Amino acid sequence: GQVDLVDFIDWTGVECLNQDPAHGIANALKQGYREDEGLHLASDSDEQLLIYIPFMQVIKLHSALFKGPEEEGPKTVKLFSNREHMGFSNVNDFPPSDSVDLSSSHLLESKPVTLKYVKFQNVRRYVHLSLAGG
């Protein structure tokens, strides 16, 4: 079966580049915060966010859930498995493990996105680049 991976996240290593300090990554990931419609994750500069999520053990990633307003939420998400030290200067140097174009049903109805499961079998670190402008 599938489980919420929030209990497997190594919170000391979570990073989000370009996050607005008033609307940080905890709003999107932590239980109790992510369910609050008034809280959200936002960029402080442009439409890009680079999120690094390490896990305390190796996990298998089947799907991901994204939610937000259709007009302001992410349009494209590039996912990278087991990559370290990625920044905006080098993220385009690596092919993503998967790339997802989000529809309004993904964002508004909290519809999970099924990933290329074979690419996410032994995940220790997970990075995703979120592009609001697509």
- pLDDT tens figures, 67-86: 877 777 888 899 999 988 78
The yes-or-no verdict on residue 132 having pLDDT over 70 is no
How much is the pLDDT for 10? 94
Domain annotation covers residue 119: yes
The yes-or-no verdict on residue 134 having pLDDT over 50 is no
Domain annotation covers residue 27: yes
Domain annotation covers residue 1: no
The yes-or-no verdict on residue 102 having pLDDT over 70 is yes
Q: What is the pTM of this model?
A: 0.88
Domain annotation covers residue 93: yes
The yes-or-no verdict on residue 133 having pLDDT over 70 is no
Domain that holds residue 50: 6-132
- pLDDT tens figures, 87-96: 889 888 999 9
The yes-or-no verdict on residue 119 having pLDDT over 70 is yes
- pLDDT tens figures, 35-47: 787 778 888 888 8
What is the token pair recorded at 105?
A: 């049903």
Domain annotation covers residue 110: yes
What is the number of domains present in the chain? 1
Q: What is the CATH number for 20? A: 2.60.120.470
Domain annotation covers residue 82: yes
Domain annotation covers residue 47: yes
Confidence of residue 27 (pLDDT cuts 50, 70, 90): confident
